[in-house]
C-alpha cells in the first residue's frame, strides 16, 4: 500500500512543495505516464492530512509548468505532450545546473565526476 506521495512533517520544506516535487519526479521518471490521472484534490488532501488548498497549489504549479492538466469535474491528468523549451525555462535550467555543479564541487568532486554523474542518467 505504498502511497503515491508522502509528506514528512519533520521536513521544514512546505508541504505543497514536497507534493509538487514528488509528483514532478514521478512524471519525469515515467512512473506517472502521459494521460494518467492523479488523485482528486480532496482525496489526496485527506490521505496526506493536508488542506485542499495546499494540494491545489501543488497541482496548480505543476499545471503552470506544463506537467498536469486540470478540468473541473474531470479530474487532473498528466499532460500528453511536453512543451517546447522556452527562454524562461532555459534560464531556469541553467540555474538548476549551476546549483548542482556548485553543490557537487562542494562535496569534493572534480569536474569529470560531476559531468559523468549527469551523463550516466541521460544515456
Q: Which of 34, 123, 120 is nearest to 77 (CA)?
A: 34
95 counts as binding a copy of itself under rule CB under 8 A = yes
Minimum CB separation from a copy of itself for residue 61, in Å?
10
Site string for a copy of itself, 16-55 (x = CB under 8 A): xx---xx-xxxxxxxx------------------------
Q: Measuring CA to CA, how many Å separate 68 from each of 11, 49, 61, 121?
A: 25, 22, 9, 24
State the Cα–Cα distance between residues 92 and 19, nearest whole angstrom: 20
75 counts as binding DNA under rule CB under 7 A = yes
Question: Which one of residues 49, 53, 75, 115 is an interface residue with a copy of itself (CB under 8 A)?
Answer: 115
What is the per-residue DSSP string for 1-54?
---S----TT--S-HHHHHHHHHHHHHHHTSS-TTPEEPPHHHHHHHHT--HHH
Residue 34 contacts which entry, DNA, a copy of itself, none (Cβ below 5-8 A, type-dependent):
none
27 counts as binding DNA under rule CB under 7 A = no
Minimum CB separation from a copy of itself for residue 30, in Å?
8
How many DSSP H helices and E strands does the chain contain? 5, 3
Residues contributing to the site for a copy of itself (CB under 8 A): 2-6, 8, 10, 12-14, 16-17, 21-22, 24-31, 65-67, 82-85, 89-90, 92-111, 113-115, 117-123
Amino acid at each position: 500500500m505504498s502511497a503515491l506521495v508522502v509528506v514528512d512533517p519533520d521536513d521544514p520544506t512546505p508541504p505543497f512543495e514536497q507534493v509538487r516535487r514528488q509528483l514532478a519526479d514521478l512524471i519525469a521518471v515515467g512512473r506517472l505516464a502521459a494521460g494518467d490521472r492523479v488523485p482528486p484534490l480532496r482525496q489526496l488532501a485527506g490521505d496526506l492530512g493536508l488542506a485542499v488548498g495546499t494540494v491545489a497549489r501543488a497541482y496548480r504549479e505543476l499545471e503552470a509548468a506544463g506537467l498536469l492538466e486540470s478540468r473541473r469535474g474531470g479530474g487532473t491528468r498528466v499532460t500528453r505532450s511536453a512543451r517546447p523549451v522556452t527562454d524562461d525555462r532555459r534560464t531556469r535550467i541553467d540555474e538548476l545546473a549551476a546549483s548542482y555543479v556548485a553543490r557537487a564541487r562542494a562535496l569534493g568532486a572534480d569536474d569529470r565526476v560531476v559531468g559523468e554523474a549527469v551523463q550516466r542518467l541521460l544515456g
